[in-house]
Amino acid sequence: MPQTPLNDVHARLGASFTDFGGWQMPVRYSSDLAEHEAVRTAAGLFDISHMAEIFVSGEGAAAFLDYALVGQASLIKSSRAKYSLIVRADGNVIDDLIVYRLGDDEFLIIANAGNRHAVVAALAERAAAFGFTGFADKSDEFALLALQGPNATAILQSLTSTNLGDLPYYSIATGELLGTEVYFCRTGYTGEDGFELLFDASRAEHVFEGLLDAGKAHGLLPAGLACRDTLRLEAGMPLYGHELDLETNPFEAGLGRVVKLDRDEDFVGKSALAVLAGATPAKALVGLVGEGRRAARAEYQIFADETSTEQIGAITSGALAPTLGYPVAMAYVSPEFAQIGTTVSCDIRGNRLAMKVVKLPFYKREN
């Protein structure tokens, strides 16, 4: 099983490990709740070096990405970023990803670890059809850390001369951090402010331990995938393999805003997505909240009411939200049950729990 360059550091810090996307990853160091609270109130440091980094550069790079993805990379301003999707010809989602524009003809794509090879294969096929050769999978060359939380900027700013206050949300800059050349990406997957830091894998231990030392006075904790999951769930962010997969299209997932159909140029999946955009979706992604302390988990069945035997959907992600103190979940349901305020019934180990459809996200930081 692949390991990140920080695997030995995680072991020294007492991490428990899990298989995630085919990688051995730290799931927690102390407790899920303590790490979750640290990110919401101070800062947490995540190793996400399993993620894929694909560089696209050279003449025609923007036009190629316009063809390969559902969004328009050509409209991204230099040093900014956009959330996007790569889909099959039938419109179903291969992966969700972030596209950063490094320059006029240079882009960085960060994709999910478990979909790295599928994304690279899809891009290679599309590059051949488009006559473009300037993309390279450099995932093995980089480490990627996520420093998230209200104190993230203060911690980082004490270690770099790059003015981080000038970086807006969904932007990217280069600079030096702890003697290491770094891409500062003002993005994240927790619902908090923060940065994702991309740099040479050989410097992983030096940077990770330096950040932990600098962050002690700010309440920084190393954080694992368990709290990363509850953080992104509270923030209503989809996880591939749960809310997104090869059987789901962007409109079912509530991501129709990402698809740019109003352009003359063709792109992979455009014809199918144009049809899907005008059709009633087969399912709809919703947010659900319940009462008490019992959480609905992935794959739990949903019914119209507590007496119904006809399944109308299923939970994709669910937990007792640490920040909120009550059960939350994301689920796919039949479209007629997707209206805000609708009450449905979830089967939790043989017992029915009433849950109400609410607008996502469940949690949003004040600033």
Stretch (H or E) spanning 97: strand 93-103
Concatenate the DSSP letters of all residues of 256-315 into one string.
GGG---SSSS--TTHHHHHHHHTS--S-EEEEEEESSSPPP-TT-EEESSTT--SEEEEE
In degrees and rounded to multiples of 5, residue 39 shows phi and psi of -65, -40
Distance CA 299, CA 33 (A): 23
Cβ contact 190:169 at 8 Å: no
For residues 213-234, give the mean pLDDT.
Answer: 98
pLDDT at 25 over 80: yes
Regarding pTM above 0.85, the answer is yes
In angstroms, the Cα distances linking 8 to 3, 14, 26, 254, 362 are: 9, 10, 11, 40, 36
Question: What does the pLDDT read at residue 270?
Answer: 98
Bridge partners, 314 (sequence order): 301, 332
Which position has the token pair 């003809």? 105
Stretch (H or E) spanning 116: helix 116-130
Percent above pLDDT 70 for the chain = 100
Tell me the pLDDT tens digit for each residue of 88-115: 999 999 999 999 999 999 999 999 999 9
Question: What does the pLDDT read at residue 158?
Answer: 97
Count CB neighbours of 292 within 10 A: 10
Question: What does the pLDDT read at residue 342?
Answer: 98
Beta-carbon-side half-sphere exposure of residue 226 (alpha carbons within 13 Å): 19
For residues 203-223, give the mean pLDDT.
Answer: 98
Looking at 3.20.20.370, 3.40.50.720, 2.40.30.110, 2.60.120.260, the CATH number of the domain 283-358 comes to 2.40.30.110
Q: What is the CA radius of gyration of the chain?
A: 21
Which residues lie closer than 8 Å to 352 by C-beta, 6 or more apart? Answer: 303, 306, 345, 346
For residues 331-356, give the mean pLDDT.
Answer: 97
Amino acid letter, 358: V
Question: What does the pLDDT read at residue 366?
Answer: 84
Amino acid letter, 47: D
Cβ contact 338:252 at 8 Å: no
Tell me the pLDDT tens digit for each residue of 255-310: 999 999 999 999 999 999 999 999 999 999 999 999 999 999 999 999 999 999 99
Q: Predicted confidence band at 21 (pLDDT cuts at 50, 70, 90)?
A: confident
Question: What does the pLDDT read at residue 47?
Answer: 98
Return the ∠ at Cα 232 (arms to 234 and 197), rounded to 5°. Answer: 145
Question: What does the pLDDT read at residue 296?
Answer: 97
Q: Predicted confidence band at 359 (pLDDT cuts at 50, 70, 90)?
A: very high
Tell me the pLDDT tens digit for each residue of 178-195: 999 999 999 999 999 999
Select from 47, 77, 45 the least CA-distant residue to 149. 45
Which residues lie closer than 8 Å to 19 by C-beta, 6 or more apart? Answer: 1, 25
In angstroms, the Cα distances linking 122 to 74, 82, 220 are: 19, 19, 39
pLDDT at 367 over 80: no
Domain boundaries, the chain: 7-51+140-234, 283-358
Task: List the structure tokens of 101.
Answer: 């524009």
* Range 7-51+140-234: architecture per CATH: 2-Layer Sandwich (3.30)
For residues 246-261, give the mean pLDDT.
Answer: 98
Tell me the pLDDT tens digit for each residue of 28-85: 999 999 999 999 999 999 999 999 999 999 999 999 999 999 999 999 999 999 999 9
